[in-house]
Amino acid sequence: MNLRRIGTSLIAPVIGLLFSLAITAIILVAINASVSTVLSSMWSYGTSPRAMSLMLNLATIYFLSALAVSIGFKMNLFNIGVNGQYVLGAVAAAVVASNLTLPKVASVTIAIFAAMITGALWAGIAAWLKVARGVSEVISTIMLNFIAIGIISYIIVRTGIGTETSLNVRGTKPIPESGMLRGSAFIDPGTSIYGFFFISIIIGIGYWFLLNRTRFGFDLRATGKSASAARTSGVQSNRMIYVTMFLSGAVAGLVGLPYLLGDTGTYSLQFPTDWGFTGIAIALLGRNNPLGIALGAILWAFLDISSGQLILEGVPREISTIMQGLIVIVVVISYEVVRRYQVKSEQTSVAKAMAKQEEVAAV
């Protein structure tokens, strides 16, 4: 790895981010907002202790979601079904935990397993459809999202599992305090950092280890790079599809838990249902690397949280959504541009070296 190559790798995201900032600035000027005021107020608010606590909590959710997506990406499987997997996982955890009166550790562990198993099984349907019927997982997972939402509405509205949690809102029975994982308020005295923040760090490390330090991880990456080559070297690709989707679904099952166990204690019909799509964008931004994903999740959460401050300044909160979209597109493009440049410069240098050798040989 030469210095020049490292340099060009760094240039890509930097250029990308500066470029997206520049476009955002143009948009801000176009809507008559002061660029400096918007950026400075986003920054000063975003770095206040309370906003940072909220940001880390939201980032925890996004991190898990992006991790789930990137497990699939590593094997060229596009799991768009994180939404469905996590809402079902969260409902399963909520139902199980609300019926338990166990010590915290036991109750939370059981809730986590309930969520992971539910998410894995739901994703497993897409894996089975792909292996047995050749259905693209893109289609099946997105369809399964709708089915999951329908099932949950039915369970909460029509069965005894749902109760009225507050005026006009229905949800699962509240989880007793012994089953919650509220975390502690160590940045801002009034805002807890979800207990799941730490669990998700462990999961991130586990992800890295599994993919980079195990035989399975090697097989998975190999299948992602070239399915036929992997098959030739003895990887059973059908089995890999199952295992990858199960894993992706199991992690996806956890996405709702930071919020469920750290905040609401009930899965109500107001529970957000589109964190899975955010995960796709962040997985792209983080290039499927756990550290990259973590930083991407924090950046995304920063933009989300600070948008609340923006509307107070009279700037539409959608500005931050635009920034998020721009960052993803521009960063992905600049990675590609730089990659092409690298390939080209590699070819030139190889050609030069060859020419030199020939010269030497000729002499």
Q: Does 99 bind another protein (CB under 8 A)?
A: no
Q: How many CB atoms lie within 10 A of CB 2?
A: 7
Residue from 81, 162, 179, 249 binding another protein (CB under 8 A)? 162
Task: Pick the closer one to another protein by CB: 40 or 136.
Answer: 40
Q: Decide: 67 and 290 in contact? Cβ < 8 Å.
A: yes
Which tokens in the block code for residue 41?
């107020």
Among 168, 202, 228, 234, binds another protein (CB under 8 A): 168
- Are 111 and 195 in contact by the 8 Å Cβ rule? The answer is no
Which of 189, 206, 272, 325 is in the footprint of another protein by CB under 8 A?
Answer: 272
99 secondary structure, DSSP code = T
Which of 39, 89, 52 lies closest to 190 in space, CA to CA?
Answer: 52
Query: Binder to another protein among 23, 49, 50, 131 (CB under 8 A)?
Result: 50
182 binds another protein (CB under 8 A): no
Query: Binding segment for another protein among 69-77, 113-121, 234-242, 261-269 (CB under 8 A)?
Result: 261-269
| CA angle at 107 for the pair 102 and 110, rounded to the nearest 5° | 135
**Can you tell me which of 80, 145, 296, 319 binds another protein, judged by CB under 8 A?**
296
DSSP string, 27-84: HHHHTT--HHHHHHHHHHHHTSHHHHHHHHHHHHHHHHHHHHHHHHHHTT---TTHHH
Nearer Cβ to another protein, position 106 or 312? 312
Interface with another protein includes 350 (CB under 8 A)? Answer: no
12 binds another protein (CB under 8 A): yes
Considering the complex, state which of residue 133 and residue 158 has its C-beta at the smaller distance from another protein.
158
Integer CA distances (angstroms), 211 to 219, 224, 243, 244, 307, in order: 9, 12, 13, 11, 35
When asked if residue 325 is in the footprint of another protein (CB under 8 A), the reply is no
User: Residue 267, SS3?
Assistant: coil
Q: In whole angstroms, how close is the CB of 131 to another protein at the nearest point?
A: 28
Give which of 138, 62, 41, 79 is closest to 324, Cα–Cα.
62
Residue ranges in 55-74 that form contacts with another protein under rule CB under 8 A: 57-58
Provide the token pair at 306. Answer: 């600070």
Q: Which of 54, 75, 199, 261 is in the footprint of another protein by CB under 8 A?
A: 54
Using CB under 8 A as the criterion, which residues of the chain lie in contact with another protein when the complex forms?
1, 5-6, 9-10, 12-14, 16-18, 21, 34-37, 39-40, 42-44, 50-51, 54, 57-58, 153, 156-158, 162, 164, 166-170, 190, 259, 263-264, 269-270, 272-275, 285-287, 289, 291-292, 295-296, 298-299, 302, 304-305, 307-309, 311-312, 317, 327, 331, 335, 342
